[in-house]
């Protein structure tokens, strides 16, 4: 398959002044494009040619892994940002408080980890299979996809992410990053929405899953197969609506 550039959910100039149009033109338009182009070239004539991006990341190493993981990591990073950052939803505040003691402690630890990562890499907020949150520091193209961890939030601390706007001042870039985060997306990744069946009283809670129908705890509603049916009344997924929080 041909891997494509992810679409930016905002205009190139929309994140200024925290992240300038010129940074987006280089970071998204040149650096990311190079990873995508290299990936497409490198997989030609290999078993990776037919694989989805995440499968390549899990199975490949060397140049194919690096370009696949950088493609995935950047798509996630740019998708985490917004020009209209809103306050955190209460469910996210609760989750961060439960795992880190407070939102402020989480931000301090994440900032400290991002500031002290040596060289190029990524700092992630991730969730494991037991729903435990942690901060993960990864060098170069490192990604939680390889480790079976669920990514919630990421900052790119490669110099190419901040050198145009902040030169060597990584701390200033991290400071600006906090004001560009799409907290609604982060909240729904961290604590996926519950869904209710419109035909009966059944409520799907991602934390519990629906083991009686083969859906493991921790499965987001969006990740349930389309042929799944309501355990109570037997209607299909499209009969469900999200419960807003
Ligand atoms: Mn980057």
Q: Rounded to the nearest whole angstrom, what is the distance from the C-alpha of residue 220 to the centroid of ligand 1?
A: 28
3-state helix vs strand vs coil in the chain, percent to 5: 45, 15, 40
pTM: 0.93
Q: Rounded to the nearest whole angstrom, what is the distance from the C-alpha of residue 74 to the centroid of ligand 1?
A: 6
Partnered with residue 181 across adjacent β-strands are: 81
pLDDT in tens, 195-205: 999 999 899 99
pLDDT of 135 reads: 98
Residue showing tokens 């041909």? 2
pLDDT in tens, 114-132: 999 999 999 999 999 888 9
Q: Rounded to the nearest whole angstrom, what is the distance from the C-alpha of residue 214 to the centroid of ligand 1?
A: 38
pLDDT of 244 reads: 86
Q: Rounded to the nearest whole angstrom, what is the distance from the C-alpha of residue 137 to the centroid of ligand 1?
A: 15
Query: Which of the four pLDDT bands, split at 50, 70 and 90, describes residue 89?
Result: very high
Query: Which of the four pLDDT bands, split at 50, 70 and 90, describes residue 157?
Result: very high
Q: Rounded to the nearest whole angstrom, what is the distance from the C-alpha of residue 150 to the centroid of ligand 1?
A: 20
pLDDT in tens, 14-57: 999 999 999 999 999 999 999 999 999 999 999 999 999 999 99
Is the pLDDT score of 212 beyond 90? Answer: yes
């Amino acid at each position: 398959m041909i891997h494509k550039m992810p679409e930016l959910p905002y205009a190139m100039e929309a994140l200024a002044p925290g992240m300038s149009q010129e940074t987006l033109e280089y970071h998204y338009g040149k650096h990311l494009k190079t990873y995508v182009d290299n990936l497409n070239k490198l997989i030609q004539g290999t078993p990776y040619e037919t694989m989805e991006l995440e499968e390549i990341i899990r199975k490949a190493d060397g140049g194919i892994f690096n370009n696949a993981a950088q493609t995935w990591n950047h798509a996630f990073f740019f998708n985490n940002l917004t020009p209209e950052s809103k306050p955190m939803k209460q469910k996210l505040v609760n989750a961060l408080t439960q795992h880190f003691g407070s939102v402020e402690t989480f931000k301090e630890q994440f900032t400290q980890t991002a500031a002290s990562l040596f060289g190029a890499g990524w700092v992630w907020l991730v969730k494991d299979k037991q729903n435990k949150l942690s901060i993960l520091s990864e060098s170069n193209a490192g990604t939680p996809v390889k480790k079976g961890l669920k990514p919630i939030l990421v900052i790119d601390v490669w110099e190419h992410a901040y050198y145009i706007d902040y030169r060597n001042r990584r701390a200033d870039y991290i400071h600006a990053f906090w004001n560009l985060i799409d907290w609604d997306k982060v909240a729904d990744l961290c604590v996926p929405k519950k869904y209710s069946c419109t035909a009966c009283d059944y409520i799907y809670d991602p934390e519990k899953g629906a083991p009686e129908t083969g859906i493991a705890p921790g499965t987001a509603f969006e990740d349930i197969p389309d042929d799944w049916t309501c355990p109570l009344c037997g209607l299909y997924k499209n009969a469900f609506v999200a419960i807003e929080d």
